[in-house]
Amino acid sequence: MKAPVVVVNFKAYQEAEGDRAFRLAKVCQKVSIESGVPMAVCPPHLWLAGIARILEIPVYAQSVDPLPSGAGTGYITPSMLHSTDTSGTLINHSEHRIPEDQISKAIEMCREVRIDTCVCAADATEAALMAALSPNSIAVEPPGLIGGNVSVTTADPSIVSGTVDAVKEIDSSITVYCGAGVKTGEDVRSAIDLGAHGVLLASGVVKAKDPEAVLRDLISKI
């Protein structure tokens, strides 16, 4: 499986609840297949299994809890993800932070059941620490820019290039994404030019009046 170039995180937006989550996921798949640009979607946990069953593109969880099967009320375990057609999971998103020892354990447990891991980091320094844990990918997202209208590639390009350099120095096999404020094709082009493999997106797509048009614009410069 090729690493996605565009990863769309549905978060907990109303625009991605119930049937709307399925419609958005299908739009992402349509654009991905027609354009040839690899994409992945991260729907809310409630609709994760259902969406994973009907899509051909990778479906990621938004988070995972590093616990074994058993007495763990309310948790989402790696084994649960494995029991669906889920391909991977985000870990340590800025809106769902967990301690470093839990990140390490989550990566290890996901690896055991062949679930890809994308660990989020706030900057190059944290990304380097995460790279030492050997996830499949790392997404750098400065928290202050998440959900805003200024892309990290414009606000501080060195965050992206510095993260790429820091991660590759530790493990060149780790895929690097960037996110926070990425909303246009120019933003995506800039991210790739700065060395990132792709982008992690959310509100710019999920809350758009026409998500398909936005997605097509986002990949127009690739």
CB-based burial of residue 113 (10 Å sphere; 0-12 exposed, 13-18 middle, 19+ buried)? middle
**Calpha distance 186→104 (Å, rounded):** 34
Which of the residues 45, 82, 112, 141 is marked catalytic? Answer: 141
Tell me which residue of 120, 131, 129, 138 sits closest to 195, measured CA to CA: 138
> Would you call 82 a catalytic residue per the annotation?
no
Which of the residues 15, 93, 95, 112 is marked catalytic? Answer: 93
Tokens standing for residue 185: 């094709």
Go through 195-206 and write b for each residue having 16 or more CB atoms within 10 A of its CB, e for each that does not: bbbbbbbbbbbb
> Would you call 17 a catalytic residue per the annotation?
no
Report, as residue numbers or ranges, the catalytic residues: 93, 141
